[in-house]
Every structure is written in structure tokens, then in C-alpha cells.
Amino acid sequence: MKKRLIKKLSSETIPKIVVILGPTATGKSDLAVKLALRLSSGQAKKLYGINGAEIISADSRQVYRGVDLGSDKITKEETRGIRHYLIDVASPKKKFSAAQYKKLAEKAIKDIWKRGKIPIICGGTGLYIDTLIYDRNLPAAKPNLKLRRSLEKKIAEELFEELKKLDPKRAGNIDRFNKRRLVRALEIVIETGKPVGILRLFDYAQGKQAQDKNLPYKFLKIGIVVPSKELKRRIKKRTLQRLRGGVIQEMENFRKAGVSDKKLDEVSLYYRWVRPYLRGEINQKNTLELISTKIWQYAKRQMTWFKRDKNILWIKNSREAERAVKEFLKN
């Protein structure tokens, strides 16, 4: 039976992929697991000729080993037995790029399809998702070490203001406190004389070309809509849970292991904004408010990225998602 299912899947000219995306704290992981469990049922096998579903994370922080509370990483219990990929694949001491993500995600997709299952991409890192789904390569600007050293002498605020002048679109969705990403974005635009090429993904994803035959996958992109007031509440609640759960100790363990503060700032929003508390500059209550506010601002930047893509089907609950997936797999 299994061989027949796999044969049916491999006969598809373009494999199908389901994408679950949205800002932080919208319930993406929970929905992805729920859908994967539904697609692993006997009824799904009969209806769609598939042998289940597995999840590929698209989160730029969850790739790092040990950054668990600091990246809101899904726990073993929360996976409910569904296999997850691209979690804990990189050392927090090293850089991990979108190009590396694309290579590993493509390998995972092939593995999933080889076993007759459907891949579900789940995460909030729009750059990772679009680089993979739209099969786009990142700008090929060679590293300019002299330029980098010059840029790294500036504070993040100065780098962000410079990027706004040279590449306002990229400035609109970048993490304005992440010096490494700011330096790289400036390096690309200065070296090539052009804005960051990845933004052409948005032009590509306006619906007209998005499902053309040149793309490697047929995809359904589902975005989760949560009202602002509710999303703020969820962010604050989860931030409190992380602070009580040991996110500060997690960060301190990395420090003892030799991970620099600069790198820690890149791999977790919590680590970055808990530092004023550790320096004695603010109290616990204000730390909660500060981190919640910063994560809310981050969520808004995520939405800025996603709103440009007209291929995203925005849903309010799991029932709408299940109906959309059903129609997608039937057609």
C-alpha cells in the first residue's frame, strides 16, 4: 500500500506544499501540528493518496541548538509525535543564512515526499519562506571586509538610518536592532548599487506569476489573523512564562559557554532585552513591559513583510485552514 501511495505522489509534475505563516504568538505551530495529524489519518490517505504530513520549521532563531525558551521553540510534547525539521541544526556561535536554510529545507522536502508525505512549512521568517517557495537566490554580493569593519563601528540606529536612505523597502521589514543584518543589507546595496534583490520576491508574488510552471512547488500559503489587542495579550502572557521559565538562566548558560553578547542579541529577542534588567537599570515589571513591547514591534515588522504577498490566504481559525487544505489537495 505504501509503495502505491508514494508512486502516486511522485507522479505529480509539481509537488504540493502547505505553508503556515504569520507573526509571532499567532498559533502557527499548534495549527501546523493539528493539520499534520489530520493529514496522517486513514481518511486523508483515501481522499488524497498521501501517507501523512511532516513539518519544516521556518524560524531564523529556532535553528540554533539550545535557544529554546529564547526562541519560543516547540517542545517535544507539543509536536504530538509529528516529525519536525530545521530545528536545532546550527550552533549559536556560528552564522546561519537564508541560503543555508534553503538548501536544508529542499533536502527535507525531498525526504518527506520520498516517503509519500506532504511537507508543511511553518514559521514567521518571511525571508526563509519566500527564498524557498519562490526559488530565489539571495544577492551575490561578495563580502567586503573593509566596508564591514567600517560599518560595524556604528551603532544600530546609525546603520538603520543609513539603510532607510539607500534601501527604504528593506529598512521597512528588517530588524532595526540586529547589527549583523543591517551591516549585510548595507553591504549588498553599497556593493551592488541596487536594493536587496530578495525584495523582488514581493513583485513576483503578486498573483500573476506566483503559480507558474517555472516554480518548483505548488503551494498553499495560509496566514493566521489575530486581532491586535489579542495578539498583544498573548505576547505579554508568553513573555511572562519565558521569564518565569528560565530564559535568563538559558542566556547566562550561553555566556558561560563563550557565546558573545553580540551573537546572543541575534539569536533571541528575549536575550537582547533582558540585559537592562541584569544591569540593574530596570525592575522586573518594566522588563516584562519592555520585552512585550519589543516583541509586539517585531510582530508588526513580520506583518509588513507578509502583507506584500498577495498569495497568502488569511484565516481566523483552524476550520478555515482545514477547508483550504482540503480543497488544495483535492485539486
> pTM of the predicted model, to two decimals?
0.81
Same domain, 263 and 185: no
Residues 235 and 223 in one domain: no
Residues 90, 153, single domain; the answer is: no
Residue, of 180 and 300, whose pLDDT is higher: 300
What is the total count of domains within the chain? 3
Please tell me whether residues 129 and 220 are part of one structural domain: yes
Q: Based on the domain organization, do 235 and 290 belong to the same domain? A: yes
Nearest to 266 by CA among 184, 188, 130, 175: 175
Query: Could you tell me if 163 and 297 lie in one domain?
Result: no
Torsion angle, CA of 70/86/112/107, rounded to 10 degrees? 170
pLDDT digits (tens, 9 = 90+) for 219-260: 999 999 999 999 999 999 999 999 999 999 999 999 999 999
Q: Report how far residue 106's alpha carbon sits from residue 303's, in angstroms, rounded to the nearest whole number.
A: 25
84 and 42 co-located in one domain: yes
| CATH code of 44's domain | 3.40.50.300
Domain that holds residue 274: 229-302
Is the domain of 62 the same as that of 211?
A: yes
CATH code assigned at 236: 1.10.287.890
Cβ atoms of residues 239 and 295 within 8 Å:
yes
* Torsion from C-alpha of 78, 69, 108, 141, nearest 10 degrees: 150
Asked whether residue 108 falls in the same domain as residue 212, the answer is yes
**Residues 126 and 261 grouped into a single domain:** no
Contact 24, 72 (CB under 8 A): yes
* Residues 47, 128 within the same domain: yes
pLDDT: which is higher, 175 or 314 = 314
How does the average pLDDT of the chain come out, rounded? Answer: 87
Question: SS3 sequence, 110-150?
Answer: HHHHHCCCEEEEEECCHHHHHHHHCCCCCCCCCCCHHHHHH
Pair (173, 216) in one structural domain: no
